[in-house]
Amino acid sequence: MDKSDQLDVAFAALANPTRRAILAHLAQGEATVNALAEPFDMSLPAISKHIRVLENAGLITRGRDAQFRPCTLNARPLKVVADWTDQYRHIWVTRFDVMNEILLTMKETSDE
Q: Which one of 7, 30, 49, 70 is in contact with its own copies (CB under 8 A)? A: 7
Rule CB under 8 A: is residue 20 a binding residue for its own copies? yes
Closest to 18 measured CA to CA, from 43, 9, 4: 43
Q: How many residues bind its own copies (CB under 8 A)?
A: 34
Question: Of 8-16, 76-84, 92-100, 104-112, which segment contacts DNA by CB under 7 A?
Answer: 8-16
Mind giving me the DSSP string for 38-106? TTSSS-HHHHHHHHHHHHHTTSEEE--BTTB--EEE--HHHHHHHHHHHTTHHHHTT-HHHHHHHHHHH
Rule CB under 7 A: is residue 67 a binding residue for DNA? yes
Applying CB under 8 A, which residues contact its own copies?
Answer: 4, 7-12, 14-17, 20, 23-24, 27, 73-76, 78-79, 81-82, 84-89, 91-92, 95, 97-98
